[in-house]
A and B are shown apart, each in its own frame.
Chain A
Amino acid sequence: MAGPERRFPVRLDLRHGTVDLSHGSGGRAMAQLIEELFQRHLDNDLLRQGNDQAAFDPPPGRLVMSTDGHVVSPLFFPGGDIGCLSVHGTINDVAMAGARPLYLAAGFILEEGLPLKDLDRIVASMAKAASEAGVPVVAGDTKVVERGKADGVFINTTGVGVVPPGVEISGDRARPGDAILVSGTIGDHGVAVMSQRENLSFGTDILSDTAALHGLVAAMVTAVPGIHCLRDPTRGGLATTLNELARQSGVGMRIREAEIPVRPEVQAACELLGLDPLYVANEGKLIAICPPADTETLLAAMRAHPLGAQAALIGEVVADPHQFVQMQTLLGGWRIVDWLAGEQLPRIC
């Protein structure tokens, strides 16, 4: 006898094969999918243990945990895909506490009929994003649903991280007088995804800004440990995130339209589609709120990092019992920047 029998005599057909219900059955087909596709790309010590959970010793410090479901349509868009997006999205949610992200877990819901070629590409992209970020995927789960019950693939990721001592970043800490900074141009992700939608497709060179922001956050926290708030303006865009922070902290905000960085291409696409870039999703930007005395230091630290090169001071926190976010328009008049009403851009992340 020459060792145990080969588990999977025929390799997974990554060129022409598709996901079928057996891939989620818990049987041999699922084991093969995990081994030849998920593990092959995402391989690391903890995943290789093959347990239903990853066991690790937490480093000292406060642990943070976050989870995020990804349902973006289309699955592949200029500048990224659902795979890297699902890694960046959760890393960023963890990082917005000022934390160093440690590990990720990923749950996949696959639709029957999804080409294995696409899944392979998506998981490879996840693996690349996780490896570049230094945050391995250490646990996972796969389910398959019948055709028509999902849209290709949905990915849920969960992340844990640890906050360095002395850092107290929270959405309820904005105080009147604080400065409001944004790390770069807004609206890139939403417009890049929209440009690929079947009924909208328009020619554009805009790429999604999807990126893991924990490196930028680390540089910011080192420069100014006393940052009050950090948040990534994803769905609902800058406008919605500022409103969330204003509500959480019980303050108002006043921002200046002329200071908000927007790429001309994004502005043009928004004109065409009747959208306001303030409400368009981002996946690689953050908003920082800090005491006024730290503004210059923080801005300099952001601009010194590649992901914050176009960082800008866009306004200030004010006392306001109504918790309004107000904006001085390009023309010099004033208006409210309200919460997003309804859902203008569904399934953007």
Chain B
Amino acid sequence: MKYVEEFRDQGLARNLAASIAGEVDPKRSYRLMEFCGGHTHAIFRYGVQDLMPPNLHFVHGPGCPVCVLPIGRIDQAIALALDYGVTLCTYADLMRVPGSERRSLIKAKAAGADVRMVYSTQDALAIARADPGRQVVFFAIGFETTTPPTAVALRQARAEGLTNFSVFCNHVLTPPALHAILSDQGAADGVRIDGILGPSHVSTVIGSRPYGFVPSEFHKPLVIAGFEPLDVMQSALMLVRQLNAGRCEVENQYTRAVTQEGNRKAQALMAEVFDLRETFEWRGLGQLSRSALKIASDYADLDAELRFPLAPGEGREVRGCECPSVLRGVKAPSDCKLFGTVCTPENPMGSCMVSSEGACAAYWSYGRFRPTGTWEARPEAGAASGRDPGSIARAVAGAT
């Protein structure tokens, strides 16, 4: 397939692996946080860690929209569907996210709520047009990538005079989350991060400029990285080079899509339709000021939160669930007592086990043959072995 295979080429991967193996300083370690779930997915899906030297570790970041949505908002969505009897349109991943008391939208649907899985905001609009007698609510989540389509839908609904359509808005912003993660570093339980693989699709919208605080305030390098496995590897190499040279800059690996300014048209659209919330709760990161969007007053009549007054959700975490620590990169999924015992993708206790972009789901679905807590060695045929860590990386590097 044109334009995709090039980014999954084994020969290029070997070259990159050889460069990284050749350039890392064996006397230090490199802890690189990949911000987005899309990166996490690529790393696990393609076994990228196997191609890295043993002293380079990926730390999984919070950039999974489903994962950072606080439980209280899931509770409220369930209330919209069950108590107000609206047709709730949602992306598939959200259906199985557990709310308080292990409720979920999929269980609400089974109990008779009208919950529809949609692929886009346009599907939700179509449902509203087709049945003017029903209140249709779009459960909007996501970072800056999914925000412009929601803005378009709001404008369309306004233009068409669709009075039975509204949006339950949970859109969040990337830079404040990154800021919170990096501020966390000094804390006793804080995570050590040497560099950041920056968001890819988000950056197509916001550009590379908003990340300037990462080097200036926190003295860390950031490389905006695409979601293909070779993008991730090349970005890791760029971070290694910055760290080795003592540089900290915002660099852009994903130049085929990201510019410094981003997508001005999308930004203008977002500014027209949304306002900043003073504060918003993030799962794992807590309340972050000016980190999320609400529907602007001009569009307030399409705001589901105003149309259907909702009590704050209970937001009760499952006891023992480490999603909050996993989302900050403080703990690995396998550090959680629930991981793989009672919490699996079929029976998720926390959001990180639901989405394919969640670190727990990626660990479980792609990586659980690895011995607990280690990423260095691939065991032979599933049984833990005393194999030399990093031998695969060297073997791959040596094969070029």
Contact = CB atoms under 8 A, between A and B. Distances in A.
B119 interface: yes
Interface string A297-340: 00000000000000000000011111110101111111110100
Interface residues of B, number: 39
B195 interface: no
A200 interface: yes
Given A332-B51, A333-B48, A334-B50, A342 B383 contact: no
A333 B361 CA distance: 18
A336 B47 CA distance: 9
Contacts of B14: 332
A267 interface: yes
B375 to A, nearest CB: 11
Interface class of chain A by DSSP: loop
B143 interface: no
A344 B93 CA distance: 10
B8 A331 contact: yes
Contact of B123 (A199, A252, A264, A329): A199
Contacts of B50: 332-334
A1 interface: no
A324 B382 contact: yes
A344 B365 CA distance: 15
Residue with the highest number of chain B CB atoms closer than 10 Å, among A258, A267, A333, A334: A333
A271 interface: yes
Contacts of B46: 329-331, 333, 335
Q: Which of B10, B49, B96 has the most CB of A within 10 A?
A: B10
B118 to A, nearest CB: 7
B381 interface: yes
B47 A334 contact: yes
A222 B367 CA distance: 40
A342 B96 contact: yes
Interface in B106-126: 118-119, 123
A330 B123 CA distance: 35
B366 A332 contact: no
B229 A331 contact: yes
A320 B381 contact: yes
Contact of A268 (B1, B230, B381): B1
A332 B11 CA distance: 10
A323 B368 CA distance: 12
Nearest to A319: B381
Contacts of A268: 1, 4
Interface in B1-48: 1, 4, 8-10, 13-14, 44-48
Nearest to B399: A332
A341 interface: yes
Name the interface size band of chain A. Answer: 20 to 34
A100 interface: no
A254 interface: yes
Contacts of A264: 1
Contacts of B229: 329, 331
B4 A321 contact: no
B118 A321 contact: no
Given A320-B381, A321-B382, A332 B96 contact: no
B364 interface: yes
A324 B379 CA distance: 12
A274 B396 CA distance: 29
A264 B1 CA distance: 5
A271 B369 contact: no
Interface in B328-386: 344-346, 356, 361, 364-369, 378, 381-383
B366 to A, nearest CB: 4
B380 to A, nearest CB: 9
B93 to A, nearest CB: 10
A199 to B, nearest CB: 5
Interface string B39-78: 0000011111111000000000000000000000000000
B337 to A, nearest CB: 20
A335 B45 contact: yes
A321 B345 contact: no
B20 to A, nearest CB: 13
A320 B10 contact: no
Interface string A122-163: 000000000000000000000000000000000000000000
Contacts of A323: 382
B365 A336 contact: yes
A337 B344 CA distance: 15
Contacts of A200: 119
A100 B50 CA distance: 46
Contacts of B364: 338
Given A330-B8, A338-B366, A267 B382 contact: no
A34 to B, nearest CB: 37
A324 B368 CA distance: 9
A322 B382 contact: yes
A104 B358 CA distance: 46
B127 to A, nearest CB: 10
B363 to A, nearest CB: 10
A199 B10 contact: no
Contacts of B392: 333
Contact of B369 (A319, A330, A336): A336
Contact of A318 (B48, B119, B381): B381
A330 B10 contact: yes
A324 B230 CA distance: 26
B13 A331 contact: yes
A249 to B, nearest CB: 14
Contacts of B49: 333
B44 A335 contact: yes
Which of A252, A322, A342 lies at the interface centre, i.e. has the most chain B CB atoms within 10 A of its CB? A342
A254 B379 CA distance: 12
A199 B119 contact: yes
Contacts of A334: 47, 50, 369, 378
Pick from A326, A331, A338 the residue with the most CB of B within 10 Å. A331
A223 to B, nearest CB: 29
Contact of A252 (B1, B344, B356, B382): B382
Given A329-B45, A329-B47, A330-B9, 15 more contacts: A252-B382, A258-B10, A268-B4, A320-B381, A320-B383, A322-B369, A324-B382, A326-B381, A328-B47, A330-B46, A333-B392, A335-B47, A336-B367, A336-B369, A338-B366
28 contacts: A200-B119, A252-B382, A258-B10, A267-B4, A274-B356, A319-B381, A322-B369, A324-B369, A326-B382, A329-B47, A330-B10, A331-B48, A331-B229, A331-B230, A332-B10, A332-B14, A333-B46, A333-B47, A333-B49, A334-B47, A335-B45, A335-B367, A336-B366, A336-B367, A336-B368, A338-B365, A341-B346, A342-B96
Per CB-CB distance, the 7 closest pairs between chain A and chain B, nearest first, are A333-B47, A341-B345, A333-B50, A320-B382, A335-B366, A331-B13, A318-B381
